[in-house]
A = this chain, B = another copy of it.
Amino acid sequence: MNIENRLKEFGLELPEISTPGGSYVSVNIRVNIAYVAIQFPIRNGEYFYQGRLGDDISTEDGLKAMELCALNVLAQINDKVGFDNVVGLNHLDAYFQAYGSWDDSPEVVNGASDLFQKVLEEKGIHTRAIFGVEKLPRNFSVGLTSSFTIVKSVQI
């Protein structure tokens, strides 16, 4: 699958792969699972959507922030695994920062969930957990951790 062409159909573009903000790797392949480090709404080195949902960041922008997290996941997988080697997305842990009674997190996280399924089709099906945390690094409004099942022969 040519992921770039597929993304273009939807008006989407992979960001540059971001470098880890600490002593870890962005993708860790262990046998047939590729673990992907938490991804944030960063595009080509620039930080977006910092603050808390329900006040600083609207639900609509939160959805875009989650889309950008998902695009960063796809960029990492494209770079380190290759989509032809992907069996499927496993699970998403989606985190958000919010104020008070704001409760649109399922809608916001659909920004990532829908993107994975549009682009990867049945390979993008996944389970997920969502929860509001007190603080994400760099005051990002959202973050996304994921893992993929891949074919066994991939080496990095």
Contacts and interface: CB of A to CB of B under 8 A. Distances in A.
Interface of A: 21-28, 30-33, 35-38, 87-93, 95, 97-98, 102-103, 105-107, 109-110, 113-114, 117, 125-139, 143, 145, 147, 149
Q: Which 7 A-B pairs have the closest CB atoms?
A: A132-B135, A23-B113, A38-B129, A37-B127, A30-B149, A129-B145, A22-B106
Q: For the complex formed by this chain, how many copies does it contain in all?
A: 3
Contact of A90 (B26, B28, B93, B106): B28
A51 to B, nearest CB: 12
A90 B33 contact: yes
Given A91-B147, A117-B23, A137-B105, A128 B37 contact: yes
B126 A28 contact: yes
Contacts of A136: 131-132
Contacts of A145: 91, 93, 129
A78 to B, nearest CB: 16
A122 to B, nearest CB: 11
A27 B139 contact: no
Nearest to A156: B125
B23 A127 contact: no
A17 to B, nearest CB: 14
A127 B26 contact: yes
Tell me which of A91, A93, A98, A106 has the highest count of chain B C-beta atoms within 10 A of its own C-beta.
Answer: A91
Tell me which of A28, A130, A138 has the highest count of chain B C-beta atoms within 10 A of its own C-beta.
Answer: A130
A23 B66 CA distance: 13
